[in-house]
Amino acid sequence: MTVRVRIAPSPTGNLHIGTARTAVFNWLFARHHGGQFILRIEDTDQTRSRPEYTENILEGLTWLGLNWDEGPSYQSKRLDLYRQATQTLLDKGLAYRSYDTEAELEEMRTAQKGRKEAPRYDNRHRNLTPEQQAAFEAEGRQAVIRFIIDDNREIVWNDLVRGKLSWKASDLGGDMVIARASVGGAIGQPLYNLAVVVDDIDMKITHVIRGEDHIANTAKQILLYEALGEAVPEFSHTPLILNEKGAKLSKRDGVTSISDFKKMGFTPEALVNYMTLLGWSAPDSTQEIFTLEEAAKLFSFERVNKAGAKFDWAKLDWLNGQYLHAMPAEKLVDLLIPYWKEAGFEFDQDRDRSWLEQMAAVIGPSLSRLPQAVDMTRMFFTESVEFSAEATDQMKKEGAADVIQGIIEALDNHSELTPVAAQEIIKQVTTEKKVKKGLIMRSLRAALTGDVHGPDLIESWVLLHSSGLDKARLQQALAQAA
Ligand code: GLU
């Protein structure tokens, strides 16, 4: 058997982190088994689906490296298939037309509420006579198509994450609408549960892997497979992603779509790596950094948690940092250029390429998100720097001005500055001025960068020197200290 799985997003919003994580698990499972990963766009909800969301979803999956083998197919182009299946169910006597008006349904729900019962359809039109049907049609009533749910059934399946699951059919809300209202014997717009089952059958899906919020749908869908006389696939319900308070991560938590994470400066490699860890761990649980391919080799549902996965920003930042620190400057620079442009820094990306790369090399090890590069590199792009309060304090410390003066003098003997030469200057001034190295390092950083934290000091200095910026800066700092 070839494993065939799918991701089936609804284009009613941008690609959500939850959907993306489900896509990751599907992708990992497919690749682990040498199977197929299929993309299906579930756009039957015409009022809420939008082409720009589809575009965002395709872009997001591509950016994350979750390449698919078939699709995208669009449910909106497959309506005939769903109508045929609905007709089959009608022909088999497993579905029927139901003519209730909205007011009648409302009245039924109010009565149920009054009796403190859970709202459900009471199946009142399940056994209409042809005469009753004809009378409703003569009235011009519209009919939805309902699928018969036998309340006595218990639906049981062996979930790949959660083990044996069972659901009482009597808790499914009565006979289920599978096609929206229409008149004159036509079949209206097919609805979600039917369309999914028809597609999963048609696309020969072997494993349905999706979020645990779909468990009740699974119970309904298993009944539909049986009614259509088809084999039921395996199901795997993955844990939800939770916010810091332990509630389901939602739009209210701010950033939730993949394009937002991209804008915030996360790399796709880090984000996708982080998502593999949202509910799964490698057999060696200390191993946390891997490519999708590496994770695919190790992936199994045995190591997927039942409990919800808490979204941990600190961990994502840490992982992103790991990727940025390890990234070659030639690659990092391409990711940084858009941020530098947006910040209005002046440079020519072709002519200044090697200088820009050096800058990327200097700050790479200090980055955890790409936009931080703007503040970290401002000192290389601008003639002078603004001093932070701490940097001003540092320059006022006893001996600070003196060591900076020493460095200025020592620099006179260096037209070029290598890291070794820079270290030697520091050593020389330490001896000459009889001060601790820490004072020199802190004062030099404050003087050169206007800050007390930042990327590697020696490398920053060498780069500033190569642009002829260091001496003037040191002099400016002396004025600050006065
Ligand atoms: N369209 C559904 C959603 O976006 C997917 C359901 C499924 O995977 O079966 O949640």
Residue 212 lies in a domain: no
| Span between the terminal Cα atoms of the chain, in Å | 79
Q: Which atom of ligand 1 is nearest to the CA of 192?
A: 1
Q: Give the model confidence (pLDDT) of 394-434 as tens digits.
A: 999 999 999 999 999 999 888 889 999 999 999 999 999 99
The kind and range of the H/E element at 6 are strand 4-7
Written in H, E and C, the secondary structure of 194-243 is HHHHHHHHHCCCCEEEEEHHHHHHHHHHHHHHHHCCCCCCEEEEECCEEC
Tens of pLDDT along 67-103? 999 999 999 999 999 999 999 999 999 999 999 999 9
pTM beyond 0.85 = yes
Residues classed as catalytic: 251
Report how far ligand 1's centroid is from the alpha carbon of 237 (Å): 12
Please check whether residues 433 and 462 belong to one and the same domain: yes
Range of the domain at 177: 81-192
My answer on whether 399 and 451 are in the same domain is yes
Q: What is the CATH number of the domain that holds 469?
A: 1.10.10.350
Task: Label the pairing between strands 176-182 and 143-147.
Answer: antiparallel
Same domain assignment for residues 142 and 173: yes
**Cα distance between residue 214 and residue 279, in whole Å:** 17
Last residue of a domain, one of 160, 192, 224: 192
Residue 297: in which H helix or E strand, if any?
Answer: helix 292-298
How many angstroms separate the CA atoms of 145 and 121, rounded? 13
Inform me whether the pLDDT recorded for 41 exceeds 80.
yes
Q: Is the domain of 263 the same as that of 316? A: yes
Same domain for 179 and 129: yes
Outline where 35-149 has alpha helix (H): 51-64, 79-91, 102-114, 130-138
For residue 225, tell me if it sits in a domain: no
Tell me if 233 is assigned to some domain.
no
Q: What six digits make up the tokens of 105? A: 């349904």
Tokens 């045929």 correspond to what residue?
A: 84
- Separation CA 121–CA 118 (nearest Å): 10
| Spatial CA neighbour of 195 closest among 98, 58, 86 | 86
Bridge partners (DSSP) of residue 470 are: none
For residue 179, being part of any structural domain is answered with yes
Same domain, yes or no, for 453 and 407?
Answer: yes
Residues 461 and 422: beta-carbon distance below 8 Å: yes
Where residue 169 sits, what CATH number does that domain have? 3.90.800.10
Residue 230 lies in a domain: no
CA of 45 to the centre of ligand 1 (A): 12
d(CA 299, CA 28): 6
pLDDT of residue 159: 98
How far is 421 from 412, CA to CA, in rounded Å?
12
pLDDT in tens, 104-122: 999 999 999 999 999 999 9
Using the structure block, give the residue that is written with the tokens 């006579």.
129
Determine which residue's CA is closest to atom 7 belonging to ligand 1: 8
CATH of the domain at 370: 1.10.8.70
Mean pLDDT in residue range 222-228: 98
Percent of the chain scoring above 90 in pLDDT: 93
How far CA 310 is from CA of 20, 239, 242, 255, 268, in Å, comes to: 15, 10, 5, 15, 20
Atom of ligand 1 nearest to the CA of 6: 8
> Do residues 65 and 151 both lie within one domain?
no
Decide: 8 and 196 in contact? Cβ < 8 Å.
yes
* 359-378 average pLDDT score: 97
Co-location of 332 and 368 in the same domain: yes
* Residues 306 and 247 grouped into a single domain: yes
Residue 381 pLDDT greater than 80, yes or no = yes
Lookup: tokens for 459: 């490398």
The closest of 106, 87, 93, 76 to 182, measured between CA atoms, is 87
**What are the pLDDT digits (tens) for 242-278?**
998 998 888 788 888 999 999 999 999 999 999 999 9
CATH number (domain holding residue 54): 3.40.50.620
Instruction: Decide: 277 and 136 in contact? Cβ < 8 Å.
Output: no
- Which of 167, 192, 217 delimits the end of a domain? 192
- Ligand 1 centroid–CA 162 distance in Å is 19
Q: Is residue 9 a part of any domain in this protein?
A: yes
On whether both 104 and 187 belong to a single domain, the answer is yes
Ligand 1 pocket by C-beta < 6 Å: which residues? 8-10, 42, 196, 210, 214
Centre of ligand 1 to C-alpha 10, Å, is: 7
Residue 111 tokens read as 């009565």
Name the residue at shortest CA distance from atom 10 of ligand 1: 9
Q: Confidence band (pLDDT; 50, 70, 90) for 481? A: confident
The DSSP letter of residue 117 is: P
Q: How many structural domains is the chain composed of?
A: 4
Question: Atom of ligand 1 at shortest distance to CA of 22?
Answer: 8
CA of 261 to the centre of ligand 1 (A): 22
> Could you tell me if 200 and 233 are in contact, meaning their C-beta atoms sit under 8 angstroms apart?
yes
Between CA 440 and CA 450, with CA 445 as vertex, the angle to 5 degrees is 135
8 A C-beta contact, residue 50 and residue 11: yes
The pick from 42, 192, 212, 257 for probing ligand 1's pocket by mutation, whose C-beta has the most ligand atoms within 8 angstroms, reads: 42
178 and 244 share one domain: no
Distance 91 CA to ligand 1 centre (A): 28
Give domain status of residue 33, yes or no: yes
Q: Are strands 143-147 and 95-98 parallel, antiparallel or unpaired?
A: antiparallel
288-323 in b/e form (b: 16+ CB < 10 A) is bbbebeebbebbebeebeeebbbbeeeebbebbbbb
In a domain, 418, yes or no: yes
* pLDDT at res. 108: 97
Residue listed under structure tokens 């490699």:
269
Q: Give the C-alpha distances (Å, rounded to integers) separating 222 from 63, 196, 212, 298.
A: 34, 11, 15, 30
Q: Which of 134, 169, 192 is the last residue of a domain?
A: 192
Residues 17 and 65 in one domain: yes
Using the atom order of ligand 1, give the atom closest to the CA of residue 196: 9
Question: Which atom of ligand 1 is least distant from the CA of 200?
Answer: 9
